[in-house]
Amino acid sequence: MFVCVFFCTFAAEIILIMKRYLVLERINQGDKVAIYSPTFDGDDKSELEKFISKFEDDPELQKDLGIIFARIGIIEEQGVLDRFFRYESKKNDNVAALPSHFDTAQLRLYCICYNEKLLILGNGGKKTTRTYQEDPVLNQYVEDMQKINKELWWKINKGEIHFEGIELAGDLSFYIE
């Protein structure tokens, strides 16, 4: 019996260690679209801020950053519409990338297009492989966004998070595995 209690306790601690805590923080004040970015526990920057920090001083990627942020500006004016994104995973997990497939760029910024008024911007990087799955860093960013989308969907359906106009209301902090 002692072995089972020890093993079960040990297994529960491993599961807790694998979970990561985050807070969704609103980063814009638009009228049509609410834009959020996750900040993981222990980080002083949101995922979007980390993305910007990685590439803002890289002259080779300035054009790409400009394309991405111009597209975000258009989204703020017109709404979160499919044509502004390239869907990266399964359509039903709402994970996409900027810039859209109409723009040529090396950078990818991964995001969740929850509906026409909610956009969650994550992190991303320079795409050097045919698919994001072939790059362990880009793959991790997409997987994080998939997990955030799943947890957000669950909390909205459970009523723990709801919309007030275009903003999310409720407890915007949670764990992902």
Task: Classify each residue of 6-29 as buried b or exposed e, where b means 16 or more C-beta atoms within 10 Å of its C-beta.
Answer: eeeeeeeeeeeeeeeebbbbeeee
pLDDT of residue 159: 96
**pTM value?**
0.87
Task: Give the whole-angstrom CA distance, residue 54 versus residue 65.
Answer: 11
Q: Which residues of the chain have pLDDT under 70?
A: 1-17, 90-91
DSSP code of residue 116:
T
pLDDT of residue 17: 53
pLDDT of residue 2: 45
pLDDT of residue 88: 80
pLDDT of residue 29: 75
DSSP code of residue 163:
E
pLDDT of residue 104: 80
pLDDT of residue 32: 93
